[in-house]
Amino acid sequence: MSKASVASVASFRRAARESVSGLPPAFWWLWTSTLVNRLGSFVATYMALYLTVNQGHSAAYAGLVASLHGLGGVVSALGGGVLADRLGRRPTLLIAQSATAASVALLGFMHHPVAIAAVAFLVGMAATASRPAVQAMMADIVRPEDRVRAFSLNYWAINLGFAVSSVAAGFIAEVSYLAGFLIEAGMTAVCAVVIFVKLPESRPDRAAGGKDAAPAAGDGASLRSVLRDGRFMAVVGLSFLVAVVFQQGSVGLPVAMGSAGFSPADYGLAIAVNGVLIVVLQIPVTRFIEHRDPRRLLLVSSLVAGYGFGLTAFAGSVGVFALTVCVWTLAEIVNAPTQTGLVVRLSPVHGRGRYQGMYTLSWSVAALVAPLMSGLVIDRFGARWLWAMCAVVGTVAALGYWLLMRRLPAERPAPSAPAPAGQEPGVRAA
């Protein structure tokens, strides 16, 4: 091996070590539970095939079930955030993960159309309820200067787990769809066990921290205070716009490629670039953006996302489609951890759960709106209009970030209190 190769390997190892160093043990247990959860995400991958091929239902019914699953997420996004603030992060995670495991297992035994739709709604509710608690707990246990890195590592785990589970889902489905439901339920239950055994409650103690830094947020768990926070709600609105753009990768792109005569395998090949790039580039890109101005990062990533999808209008081959996926995936890698870190930065310490819940809601609503929007635009005007709209929406979001965050407030420090030996400050024992 040449000296240059040895130096490159050493540099890569040093960068990887620095990317994961300095984070508390509680973060890694939370990260592990996320990875295990995503490694077992089989049902979402083959649900449409299960309903149409195995159960004999129509494509329209499969779409209805998918919408009800998403609607369940919309309903529980705010509720999960409120519970995270009132009950605590740990109890909320235990309830949500246990309910997810039970409902996924139950879904595998449902055969009546109404029963399947009802349980799919419950699965969507239970699965989404855990997300605000995970993000709030991560903000609690990680130092402010390390949060973007922590959120990036968590996002990397989500995509790595989903990439592996997507491949495994196909093999499992060939053997038994029911086995997929039961294995996913079992792995979700393992996540609940990890949380119960290894994770302490992280919700800041009010007695130690005094009043919140932001009086507008109040001390209670009411969502009224979140809705009154104009700056934060503007961020939620901008997040919704960006989410609608990113959703087109899974809803608008396959429809447009199919209408242009490309096969499902062609779409699979193009979209696979998204997962591969995230797994390969998320950590090194995080090192590049970790201490940079979030306003600039969100502005640039919104533009790159919008125009990355806009370039799809000129794609005429699988290779060019894959190239456009590369462009907007880079925006996704930058946007996801930066956006989550900004939500924490704008949240009062004792309101992180409900603030994260409102942020999660923006993505859940986008998941409902994007399919309707893309189908309507493609049917009436053609796919080129959809990609042009993505470019416009990305530009509007970038302008919004620039106007909104010209005077970004300083990071709100977590309340400090003496901690027992071996326990991170601010994390109460379970």
Domains in the chain (CATH in brackets) are 25-204 (1.20.1250.20), 223-408 (1.20.1250.20)
Q: Are 48 and 66 in contact (CB under 8 A)?
A: yes
Q: Which two tokens stand for residue 223?
A: 């969502």
- The pLDDT assigned to 221 comes to 46
Q: Along the chain (430 residues), what's the average pLDDT of each consecutive run of 10 residues? A: 54 59 87 88 76 79 81 87 88 94 94 92 91 89 85 85 78 84 92 90 62 40 78 92 90 82 80 84 80 85 95 91 93 90 84 88 86 81 92 95 72 41 32
The number of C-alpha atoms within 13 Å of 392 and in the hemisphere containing its C-beta is 6
pLDDT attached to residue 123: 92
3-class secondary-structure state, position 308: helix
Q: Give the model's pLDDT for residue 407.
A: 62
Of the candidates 65, 74, 47, the one whose C-alpha atom is nearest the C-alpha of residue 364 is 74
Whether residue 18 contacts residue 145, with contact meaning beta carbons closer than 8 Å, is answered with no
Q: What is this structure's pTM?
A: 0.75
* Residue-level pLDDT at 314: 92
Helix spans in 25-146 (H): 25-39, 43-49, 59-86, 89-107, 113-141
Predicted confidence at residue 101, as pLDDT, reads 94
pLDDT at 187: 92
Please give the Cα distance from 118 to 115 (Å, whole number).
5
Tell me how many helices (H) and strands (E) the chain has: 17, 0
What does the pLDDT read at residue 217?
A: 39
Give the end-to-end CA distance of the chain in Å, rounded to a whole number: 51
Show Cβ contacts of residue 162 under 8 Å, excluding neighbours closer than 6 positions: 38, 41, 275
177-202: burial string, b at 16+ Cβ within 10 Å, e else: beebbbbbbebbbbbbebbeeebbbb
Q: What is the pLDDT of residue 416?
A: 40
CA angle, residues 200, 204, 208, in degrees to nearest 5:
120
